[in-house]
Chains A and B, each alone.
Chain A
Amino acid sequence: MRPNKKAALYRSIKEAIDSYPGGLCFSAEGGRPILVNKKMNTLIWALTGHTVLNADIMWKEISAVTSKGGCTRINEPWFELDKQADDKDSLIFRFPDESIWHFRRQLLSDDSIDTIQTEATEITELFDVSRELYKNNLILDELKKRQQALLENIVEINRDKELLVAKMRIHDELGRCIVAAKKFLTTQDATESEYDTLLKSWSEATSDMRSVPLQGITTPGEEELDRVADLVGCRIKYTGKMPEPRRVRLLIYSSIREALTNAVRHGGANEIMVDIADTSSSYRVVISNNGRQPITKITEGGGIKNLRKLLEQEGATLTLRYNSFALDINIPA
């Protein structure tokens, strides 16, 4: 190719890449620039104070920039542009005009020659949208947490509402009782029946009042279990201390319930032994009974299967001791 034709071709390529809205730089081995467009030089000038003289050095220089001449490096963990790219080949900067640019370096390789392409792309809009999305996701996460908490506690909240309604009802009832009592006391010819009605109203109102302080106070799980066991002629004997965490206690109650039902129904037991031992990492609970021992090997029915599922959901394990039909449970602390 004649020199003037070669120069014309170079000019037309240069014009073409200069019209490209992003920054482009092609360099050879050792960082020698082959072709750099105007935009890349403008951006690099803002970051380093000079145009691209050597692409390798230029990359090292901009990699070291955190804040310079109104340009700041952006390194937000939530903003990930290219999962494939190595972190060291991808940089993001905010420029003084508030525009945000992503610089990316990659090797263009063919059989004969290796070329490094450095590209700068404006991502202002993408970055702003991503930031908005990230903020919205944070809000959504928070709302989701609140929603779950609400789901967990809604019944409890409802009990409080029920108590308030009950208190209002008692207040109204007492008001009516007072008015009726005043009328009764000032009336000369009150009948026996009116007296009985008044007495009944007062009795009901005071009974409701006595219940109010008890509202919300639930019977401890063991106490109610002991009581219902007693109704079927069975006694629960505990060895060891009932663990404090509610989650663990509820699992133990469910296990006792299952053991008790089976022992009374199938073995005619009248005593359930609950042995609780705790280590720093777990609680071991063995529940046995004094009922008739099974003659044949027991197959796991729905109750035990459900209990096993419940325990496993909480990371606990259940082993059945078939010779004594005891439940051996291990619950992580």
Chain B
Amino acid sequence: MINVLIVEDSSITRDMIVRKLSENKDFSVFTAIENAANAEIVCMSGSIDLILMDVCTADDESGLKAAMKIKTLYPEIKIILMTSMPEYSFLTRAIEGGIDSFWYKEYGDVDLLEICVRTMSGQRVFPEQRPSIRIGLSESGTFTDREYEIIRELALGNKYGEIAAHLGITENTVKYHVKNIMSKTGCKNTVALVAEVVEKRLVLPKY
């Protein structure tokens, strides 16, 4: 029997996951919680084999950060990160952080139960691509990693000088990237750009 911890603050999604897991007799829901920061305590019980972890959880706690910590403390526990957010960095950070699998709740075409089974058999299952979101005149897939970093810094309200210092580049390079982003999207200014990427949940600096 595979004991599962569900970390999900949406009751509807939680119920849907419980129902989905009940279709396979190998899985048993040990408990379901809403706050990712409490997951580590549940793992201390020594009863958890698999965690289905939402990224944005109750009290603004990041499931991604909690999952990476648990993976360090309990590497034997398998973790599947789940999100309904198309945020650009979640997938990369999950892969780099050693998370076993990743599931886009709204955008994926792979069944959750199938991901659970494959993950427990030792596979790492990740979506082949991120969801494509339209930002102004451009698709989200056309931004480079550096451009995403710049957009993220802008969303945090940082000025060009601060962005340059954070990313270890010159202010002129920041301006060059911003110019390219504006040209791709057709946004009139950085405020309009940030409003759109945040509204479409492509950048969520809190998590």
Where the two chains meet, the residues of A that have a C-beta atom closer than 8 Å to any C-beta of B are 140, 143-144, 146-148, 150-152, 154-155, 158-159, 162-163, 165-166, 204, 207-208, 211-212, 214-215, 217-219, 221, 224-225, 227-229, 231-232, 250, 253-254, 257, 260-261, 264-265
Contact = CB atoms under 8 A, between A and B. Distances in A.
Given A151-B155, A158-B84, A228 B12 contact: no
Contact of B201 (A148, A154, A232, A261): A154
B135 interface: no
B33 A224 contact: yes
Nearest to A223: B34
Given A151-B206, A227-B33, A228-B33, A144 B44 contact: no
B56 interface: yes
Contact of B35 (A208, A221, A260, A265): A221
B198 A140 contact: no
B204 to A, nearest CB: 7
10 smallest A-B Cβ distances: which pairs?
Answer: A214-B11, A228-B41, A166-B12, A143-B191, A228-B38, A211-B11, A155-B56, A211-B12, A211-B15, A232-B44
B195 A231 contact: no
Nearest to A158: B201
Contact of B44 (A212, A227, A261): A261
A143 B37 contact: no
B198 A154 contact: yes
B194 interface: yes
Contacts of B19: 204, 207
A224 B15 CA distance: 17
Interface string B1-31: 0000000011111111001000000000001
B59 A208 contact: no
B65 to A, nearest CB: 10
Interface residues of B, number: 39
B58 interface: yes
Contacts of A165: 106
Contacts of A207: 15, 19
B157 A148 contact: yes
Given A158-B85, A162-B84, A257-B41, A150 B191 contact: no
A213 B106 CA distance: 21
B13 A162 contact: yes
The A interface, classified by DSSP as helix, strand, loop or mixed, is helix
14 contacts: A140-B191, A143-B191, A147-B155, A151-B205, A155-B60, A155-B206, A162-B10, A163-B10, A218-B34, A219-B58, A224-B34, A224-B58, A228-B31, A264-B41
B175 to A, nearest CB: 18
Interface of B: 9-16, 19, 31, 33-35, 37-38, 40-42, 44-45, 47, 56, 58-60, 84-85, 106, 155, 157, 191, 194-195, 198-199, 201, 204-206
B96 to A, nearest CB: 19
Contacts of A260: 41
A190 to B, nearest CB: 24
A292 to B, nearest CB: 16
A152 B201 CA distance: 12
Contact of A150 (B31, B37, B198): B198
A19 to B, nearest CB: 43
B39 to A, nearest CB: 8
A221 B61 CA distance: 12
A199 to B, nearest CB: 14
Contacts of B42: 228, 231-232
B171 to A, nearest CB: 19
Contacts of B191: 140, 143-144, 147
Nearest to A152: B206
A315 to B, nearest CB: 19
B198 A151 contact: yes
Contacts of A225: 38
Given A208-B16, A217-B11, 10 more contacts: A144-B157, A150-B198, A154-B198, A154-B201, A155-B56, A215-B10, A218-B59, A221-B59, A225-B38, A250-B59
A140 B194 CA distance: 12
B37 A215 contact: no
Contacts of A208: 12, 15-16
A147 B9 contact: no
Given A151-B205, A204-B19, A261 B40 contact: yes
A221 B34 CA distance: 9
A214 B15 CA distance: 11
A226 to B, nearest CB: 10
Contacts of B34: 218-219, 224
Nearest to A219: B34
Contacts of B15: 207-208, 211
Contact of A143 (B56, B85, B195): B195
A231 B41 contact: yes
Nearest to B155: A151
B72 to A, nearest CB: 10
